[in-house]
Amino acid sequence: MSREQDELMRRGIGMTSQRTRERLIQRLYEEGLSNPHVLEAIRRTPRHLFVDEALSHRAYEDTALPIGHNQTISQPYMVARMTELLLAAGPLDKVMEIGTGSGYQTAILAQLVERVFSVERIQGLQDRAKERLSELNLRNVVFRWGDGWEGWSALAPYNGIIVTAAAAEVPQALLDQLAPEGRLVIPVGGGEVQQLMLIIREENGFSHHVLDAVRFVPLLSGPLA
Ligand code: SAH
């Protein structure tokens, strides 16, 4: 991160007490998240800029919060957990994110991987996310207004794909767009509670790892909004 970027991140800190933010990091650590790069990215990312001002006093609670359009900004624990899973085999170059939402997960990824390709179906959310990342001077992100079920084939393959909404089943297009040894982290299931899965492209097919029980808003299909 450049000094200029660091300064921008720091400026946000005045809004909420540094102690509140440190408490969140401490809590994530105690819950078993231990990748220091991921924790550091969360420590310096001003989450209060990703929610409405009326909710900014709650931005460093470990909870999902509404962001409009019936969507939520993911819980910091889940952002950290999914990012750790994505990066567990080492640093990644090209990562696609499905479900930009507020752009918070995008901002974390942008600090940890070379390039992020982020797909969102609701244009209003995407526009705000773009503004926030630009304010934070995170320039290695490209946005696409589109349907995450289809991924972004023109720029495939990706070394990592992260989906921040629950898919009733694993989208075939996302499997197709994984590079060799590529990793897909995705909540799967049609009910209120889903299974977080890690899927890895191996030499002869895919390995599937069923992990935590999680709660995400659904990965929708149909016309874009
Ligand atoms: N990571 C985001 C989470 C947003 S919630 C954050 O922390 O803010 C899930 C997001 O997925 C919503 O913005 C929703 O609009 C988006 N989404 C749902 N279905 C989608 C689809 N088929 N394609 C792209 N984005 C989708």
Q: Is residue 18 part of a domain?
A: no
Least confident among 11-25, 29-43, 79-93 = 11-25
Q: Tens digit of pLDDT for each residue in 44-67?
A: 999 999 999 999 999 999 999 999
> 70-103 burial, b for 16+ CB within 10 Å, e for fewer?
ebbbbbbbbbbbbbbbbbeeeebebbbbbbbbbb
Probe target for ligand 1 pocket from 98, 109, 130, 172, with the most ligand atoms within 8 Å of CB: 98
pLDDT value of position 60? 95
User: Residue 125 CA: which ligand 1 atom is closest?
Assistant: 13
Neighbour tally for 209: CB within 10 Å:
13
Q: Is residue 51 part of a domain?
A: no
User: Is 76 close to ligand 1, i.e. is its CB under 6 Å away?
Assistant: no
Across residues 112-137, what is the average pLDDT?
A: 98
Q: Is residue 57 part of a domain?
A: no
- The better pLDDT of the pair 9, 145 is held by 145
Q: Are 153 and 178 in contact (CB under 8 A)?
A: no
Kindly name the residue from 74, 102, 153, 207 that is annotated as catalytic.
74
Neighbour tally for 32: CB within 10 Å:
10
Across residues 92-101, what is the average pLDDT?
A: 98
Q: Is residue 69 part of a domain?
A: yes
Which residue's CA is minimally distant from atom 26 of ligand 1? 99
Q: Is residue 27 part of a domain?
A: no
Q: What is the CATH number of the domain that holds 112?
A: 3.40.50.150
Cβ-based neighbours of 125, under 8 Å, separated by 6 or more: 67, 68, 69, 71, 100, 101, 102
pLDDT value of position 87? 98
Percentage of residues in the chain having pLDDT higher than 90: 88
Across residues 103-120, what is the average pLDDT?
A: 98
From CA 39, how far away is CA 43, in angstroms rounded? 6
Cβ-based neighbours of 159, under 8 Å, separated by 6 or more: 92, 93, 94, 95, 179, 181, 182, 183
Beta bridge partners of 196: 187
In whole numbers, what is the pLDDT of the chain averaged over residues? Answer: 94
Which residue's CA is minimally distant from atom 13 of ligand 1? 101
Task: Decide if pLDDT at 15 tops 60.
Answer: no
Q: Are 147 and 125 in contact (CB under 8 A)?
A: no
Question: What phi, psi does 217 have (nearest 5°)?
Answer: -70, 155
Single-letter amino acid code for the residue at 173: A
Task: For residue 56, indicate whether it is catalytic.
Answer: no
- The better pLDDT of the pair 105, 16 is held by 105
Could you tell me the pLDDT band of residue 2, with boundaries at 50, 70 and 90?
Answer: low
Single-letter amino acid code for the residue at 166: A
Q: Tens digit of pLDDT for each residue in 182-218?
A: 999 999 999 999 999 999 999 999 999 999 999 999 9
Q: Is residue 15 part of a domain?
A: no
pLDDT value of position 117? 98
Residue 90 Cα to ligand 1 midpoint, Å, equals 26
pLDDT value of position 18? 81
Task: Decide if pLDDT at 5 tops 80.
Answer: no
> How many structural domains are present in the chain?
1
Could you tell me the residue range of the domain that residue 69 belongs to? 64-214
